[in-house]
Amino acid sequence: MFNRLDKWHQTKLGLLVFALLELALAYGFVSLSIDRGNLFWYLLTLIFLVGFLQNLIKLIGKLFNGRRTN
């Protein structure tokens, strides 16, 4: 099951979905961190923001490189 999810995550659609999901989670956690002032929420915001940026960069690379895999 995880192999199928990982294989789908490497597609353009998978990267886009994961990027948008992580951006939404980062937005939710930044809202919580501003409201509550807890450093734990700031840490989760940072983690999901980095994940969003990684997926976005991979997606842009796939869009510009076309069908090349490496």
% of residues, the chain, pLDDT over 70: 94
List, in order, residues 6 or more apart from 2 with CB less than 8 Å away: none
Taking only the tens place, the pLDDT of each residue in 16-33 is: 999 999 999 999 999 999
Confidence category of residue 2, pLDDT binned at 50, 70, 90: confident
Confidence category of residue 60, pLDDT binned at 50, 70, 90: very high
pTM (2 decimals)?
Answer: 0.83
Q: Does the pLDDT of residue 70 top 60, yes or no?
A: no
Largest CA-CA distance found in the chain, in angstroms, rounded: 45
Query: Distance between CA 43 and CA 30 in Å, rounded?
Result: 9
Q: What value does the mean pLDDT of the chain take? A: 91
